[in-house]
A and B are shown apart, each in its own frame.
Chain A
């Protein structure tokens, strides 16, 4: 993966991606489970405990990715 993204295998669960989101403790970790579910960990500061965790289905993850990526135009 490119700069600022760290990948790690989690045996029996899936793959974890740590993504730098602009520093000051702001970062996002995504765990792509083998059954397709995604866990989205959001960190905004001082602690190694996440500020929010979302468990997303594949469909939800796609929707969010489309909006974040700017490919979703419908009103």
Chain B
């Protein structure tokens, strides 16, 4: 026993130290845990700490279950449902493009249909943890596109639930199409039952585990999660989805916030064991074999992410910088890809999936923070016609909604002239572009015009926000905050007559 403890302890400590070093230079933790597993596992020459990865299987499964449980607990159901059609459209495009490309790529590899279905999710679903940490580290929490990025991630999590439910019967060894259909049917009925439990039984579940003492709440919570995950697994639905659903149930109880706080350290530790264990199963010789397909997959992912970012940017009327930020921030792949690879390996699919996903996650782990921080270079390459705003002057600028003067906007304001009245009074007409005051409807010429009457109007009246009246442009600028602004997300697009 002491030998086993020693080995597990050393492995986790090394994994943790590796991740700590990576965090110093802004790299994500998940791939580091996996890397520690690969380096110290039986599939790599050199020192081997754990000879049989199976010995860690129970801990690893707990890690997977707690990961998905936490995802369910913190899932913001109300916010997602209230987030409006535009966000769903943007997320649907993101998921459609990425998962679709992943599936197509999987088919092209020719490893088989179940393998392609797994790769669809492994290549298509991004890592929430990596994207969230990137936004904090790159100091982009006040950017206009940040709520959109976070919204896409949340809807991706929702998609994951349905995707896992669909995938399970494909993975379990059901032979005939009828058996597969029955499997999918059973899975969805079980899911519906859990949804019903979330809707009507939350109070009972809350009463069952809702002890006032944190100690007891933690014990009851872990017991309930493991039980439900096991039960789901027995029903032919994966343990992962059972854990996710019971998380959703708990998220509707009064103990939600305490559970969220208590589960976090447990999740972090056991999830790290899960990632390390995944690494242990990887044969380093297999990595070289899949290097070329992985390089191609990474390029495809960057392309589909950028395209999805452009679509979201267009939907929200963002500029190039914001669109590039969306595409490149949601690039990281991590926990979900590794979960899917584990499920695939467990189901006895082509073992190359393991090496493929491991290398893919490693490459993107290094690339995604790098590309996200350099998004302004991609922004300069994006031509204007791909976005609605006509952002010629402000392509590379960060957009912000951190304008505190949106309450001064009159939604009914319209432009009633196609020329600058102040210039006309002076008998000149060499203005370049027109600006509309969104408080009173005053039309004046821009700062590239000799008159600069829009700025003069702000200086005279203090009316803060103006909109460009140039054909094809609809950006807004706050004179007081000196920032480009968009209307707060969740409201519909602006309806201004542009002349």
A residues 1-56 in Cβ contact with B at 8 Å: 3-6, 8-13, 16, 18-20, 23-25, 27, 29, 31, 34-35, 39, 41, 43, 45-50, 53, 55
B262 to A: closest C-beta gap in Å:
13
Point out the residue from A13, A39, A48 that lies within 8 Å of B484, measured CB to CB: A48
**Cα–Cα distance between A64 and B489 once the two chains are bound (Å):** 30
Point out the residue from B141, B402, B407 that lies within 8 Å of A27, measured CB to CB: B402
Known: A25-B481, A48-B399. A8 touches B139 (CB 8 A): no
A6: chain B residues at CB < 8 Å are: 401-404, 406, 488
Fill in one digit per residue for A52-67: 1 if any B CB lies within 8 Å of its CB, else 0: 0101000000000000
A31: chain B residues at CB < 8 Å are: 141-142
Instruction: Across the interface, name the chain A residue whose C-beta is closest to B76.
Output: A11
| Any A CB within 8 A of the CB of B151 | yes
Instruction: Across the interface, name the chain A residue whose C-beta is closest to B74.
Output: A12
Stretch at the interface among B128-136, B228-236, B353-361: B128-136
| Any A CB within 8 A of the CB of B480 | yes
Residues B402 and A11 in contact, CB atoms below 8 Å apart: no
| Any A CB within 8 A of the CB of B433 | no
**Cα–Cα distance between A51 and B151 once the two chains are bound (Å):** 26
B153: chain A residues at CB < 8 Å are: 11-12
A5, A45, A53, most chain B CB atoms within 10 A: A53
A53: chain B residues at CB < 8 Å are: 139
B404: chain A residues at CB < 8 Å are: 4-6, 18-20, 27
B481: chain A residues at CB < 8 Å are: 20, 23, 25, 27, 43
Instruction: Across the interface, name the chain B residue whose C-beta is closest to A55.
Output: B136
B136: chain A residues at CB < 8 Å are: 13, 39, 55
Fill in one digit per residue for B391-419: 1 if any A CB lies within 8 Å of its CB, else 0: 00000011111111111000000000000
**Cα–Cα distance between A9 and B76 once the two chains are bound (Å):** 10
B489: chain A residues at CB < 8 Å are: 8
A50: chain B residues at CB < 8 Å are: 139, 142
Point out the residue from B74, B135, B141 that lies within 8 Å of A41, measured CB to CB: B141
Residues A9 and B79 in contact, CB atoms below 8 Å apart: yes
Instruction: Across the interface, name the chain A residue whose C-beta is closest to B462.
Output: A23
Known: A4-B404, A45-B482. A12 touches B141 (CB 8 A): no
| Any A CB within 8 A of the CB of B483 | yes
B373 to A: closest C-beta gap in Å:
13
B407: chain A residues at CB < 8 Å are: 3
| Any A CB within 8 A of the CB of B143 | yes
**Cα–Cα distance between A62 and B407 once the two chains are bound (Å):** 30
Point out the residue from A19, A25, A35, A48 that lies within 8 Å of B480, measured CB to CB: A25
Residues B79 and A11 in contact, CB atoms below 8 Å apart: yes
Residues A13 and B482 in contact, CB atoms below 8 Å apart: no
B398: chain A residues at CB < 8 Å are: 47-49
B241: chain A residues at CB < 8 Å are: none
| Any A CB within 8 A of the CB of B201 | no
Known: A18-B142, A27-B402, A29-B402. A8 touches B147 (CB 8 A): yes
Which chain A residues have a beta carbon within 8 Å of chain B's beta carbons? 3-6, 8-13, 16, 18-20, 23-25, 27, 29, 31, 34-35, 39, 41, 43, 45-50, 53, 55
Which chain B residues have a beta carbon within 8 Å of chain A's beta carbons? 74, 76, 79-80, 128, 132, 135-136, 139, 141-143, 146-147, 150-151, 153-154, 260, 264, 397-407, 480-484, 488-489
Query: Can you name 16 extra interface pairs (CB under 8 A) apart from A43-B402, A48-B484?
Result: A8-B147, A10-B150, A12-B128, A12-B153, A13-B150, A16-B142, A18-B142, A18-B401, A18-B402, A31-B141, A31-B142, A35-B264, A41-B141, A46-B482, A47-B397, A47-B483
Q: List 15 contacting pairs A-B, 8 Å CB cutoff, sorted by A.
A: A6-B406, A8-B147, A10-B141, A10-B146, A11-B80, A11-B150, A12-B128, A18-B401, A18-B402, A23-B480, A27-B404, A47-B482, A48-B397, A49-B139, A50-B139
